[in-house]
Homo-oligomer: A and B are copies of this chain.
Amino acid sequence: MSKEIMSQAGQRTDAMLKRNGLSITDSRKKILQLFLEQTGALAHGDIERKAAEKFDRVTVYRTLQTFVDKGIIHTIPTADNSIRYALCKDECSEGHHHDHHVHFVCTTCHITYCLDDVVTPELKLPKGYTPDHIEVVAEGTCKNCK
């Protein structure tokens, strides 16, 4: 690929990919770049749309899966059955995500935010239930839409 175009932006994506032992390819760089430029989370469909019909749908599926496996992005389940993906703020180790922050879905603009500073609260569960991970998703109106 053209080396000039990706000059600056490429630095960061390359480093992230390399750090995770992934080979540096066009599609991975571009998809990762989308996440870096993005405020909120991205759904599969958003990526296909934003990428301006650049690469195959299958590549997007595989790339997202790879990123999740490596702990570069994490998934955010929402009620409308459309999984969103967002960058993990701190690097997550492979196969082990530990972003214990809260997610916020704006019902007006439909942006999904990672509220990195809001830590998931402690929960008192009934005897016998041992949680490994707690997911909190708040739904409402974001600061730009109120």
- CB within 8 Å of B: which residues of A? 75, 77-79, 81, 83, 102, 104, 107, 113, 115, 117-118, 121-144, 146
Q: How far is the CB of A120 from chain B (nearest CB, A)?
A: 8
B83 engages A83 (CB within 8 Å): no
Select which of B78, B81, B125 is within 8 A of A115 by beta carbon.
B125
Copy tally for this chain in the complex stands at 2
Q: Name the B residues within 8 Å of A130 (CB-CB).
A: 140-141, 146
Chain B residues with CB under 8 Å of A127's CB are 143
Complex: chain B residue closest to A75, CB-CB: B79
Whether the pair A129, B143 counts as a contact (CB closer than 8 A) is: yes
B118 touches A142 (CB 8 A): no
